[in-house]
Structure 1
């Protein structure tokens, strides 16, 4: 069953319009590169926020106040990037548990343990009996950067970065905010959504639209296997990738339109 509130899958026309309106705003090279990486490689917004220059390019030596670079053929995305900002200790997040569950066997053991502690007069704190939080494992993946528009966008962005500051380090963030600092996942999420919804006027588009558009294209348009989509998406389980097997909005619209032709009046 389709989930409500899913990110919009952009049509080729909407994507072209998005790229066009980006040129009418500040930092078009950076924003074009952001969008191209999202739609052509399917990176999560937190993965884009954590990208470093060394992930996409080799920096040359600084010479006469200038800095050269060579774009890589493969983006080798570390598994740690999928864990969000904490992977590089940029921010700390707090997690408040709202629901816990136990197997029948574990629950019986827990009750017996509490009974034993109560009889011994020991202090009992509920949080001491919570099951361990499952940590997100993440999954590394190698993504070929073969698309010409993608490569051109990244090259244009890097050229401007290096011209403005030839002393950048290879470990510096690939994308910087207007204030010159790294993006947090939340800030970048809002920025990518802003470009699509407000600049391009695409209803229900979000920071996840690029990833969902790519996965939908791979499965529905290219007819590739779920295994291929899973590898590109970096999903640990293929069941997660199956979410993208849902028909895109354009297919539903076409089906309803065709049905309407036969039932006129």
Structure 2
């Protein structure tokens, strides 16, 4: 069962409507590619923000102000891009918990250690006694890029990018903001909300809708193994993947309409 406040799972009609609406606004090639990657590969917003051109295409040499490229068949998503990895290098690990739990044995050892240090006249700092922080590591995954609509969107977008700047480097960010810089996860999250909620009028849709829609499609509609969805999502536990599986709202409507109750007036 889905949690309250989770991103909306889009129906095929809503997804088609979103793609049509995108064509009515600026940068349709970029926005179409963003939506296709989100809904066809199930990437997290941080992963999309961190994508580089080399992750999806091989660039040819620049010649006479033109640049060719070839889309890859496989998106090899590095572990550094994934959830929990400090890929942006913008935050320092800090200990934020206000309460710390110890076993009786560990607490006794801690007290004796402090007593020994105090008797020796050593400086005692509280942070020296905090438990070690758990470091979250990302999980790499290989995602085939064989969906026709996805490949067409990427080809159209890269053609526009290279036409305006043939000197692009393979390490340049795949997606750029209107100001020309790479997206931060927060900025990209806001952009997905703008496209889906304001442009397309889809309530509760967010940057996570693509990921949840894909997981729901794989498990609920295609009847594929949860293990397949788990591997695509990059989840360590299959139980996490099952949280993403959410019967479409249309299925709920049909169930309520076809409940079979007899009403007596």
Same fold (TM over 0.5): yes
Aligned positions of 1:26-105 closer than 5 A: 26-83=26-83, 86-89=86-89, 91-92=90-91, 95=94, 97-104=96-103, 105=105
CA shift for structure 1 position 131: 1.6
Which 5+ residue runs of structure 1 have no aligned equivalent? none
SS at 1:142 equivalent = strand
**Equivalent residue number for residue 240 of structure 2:** 240
- Show the counterpart of 2:224: 224
Change in Cα spacing, 1:257 to 1:128, as seen in structure 2 (3 Å) is farther
Q: Distance in 1 between matches of 2:114 and 2:36?
A: 55
Question: In the alignment, which residue of structure 1 is the partner of 2:126?
Answer: 126
Between the aligned partners of 1:17 and 1:130, the Cα distance in structure 2 is: 52
How far does residue 241 in structure 1 lie from its aligned partner after superposition? Answer: 1.5
Per-residue deviation, 1:96 = 5.7
Contact 2:95 2:133 (C-alpha < 8 Å) held by counterparts: no
Deviation at 1:263, TM superposition (A): 4.4
Partner of 2:209: 209
Question: What RMSD in Å do the two structures reach over aligned CA positions?
Answer: 2.2
- Deviation of 1:64 after TM superposition, in Å, equals 1.2
Distance change in 2, residues 1:234/1:85 (3 Å):
closer
Equivalenced residue count is: 263
8 Å contact kept, 2:2–2:244 = no
5 Å matches for 1:186-197?
186-197=186-197
1:32, 1:153 → 2: CA distance? 6
Q: Could you give the per-residue CA deviations for residues 238-259 of structure 1, whole angstroms, max 9, x where no partner exists?
A: 2322212454444333322322
What are structure 2's unaligned runs of at least 5 residues? none
TM-score by length of 1: 0.90
Q: 1:23 matched to which residue of 2?
A: 23
2: CA distance, partners of 1:95 / 1:216: 36
Change (3 A) 1:242 1:114: farther
Residue 146 (structure 1) shift: 0.6
Maintained 8 Å contact 1:50/1:84: no
Name the SS of the counterpart of 2:69 in structure 1.
Answer: strand
Label 1:93 to 1:206 Cα distance change in 2 as closer, same or farther (>3 A): farther
- State the 1:179 CA deviation: 1.0
Q: Which has the higher helix share?
A: 1
The separation in 1 between residues aligned to 2:194 and 2:92, in whole angstroms, is 24
Q: 2: CA distance between counterparts of 1:130 and 1:180?
A: 43
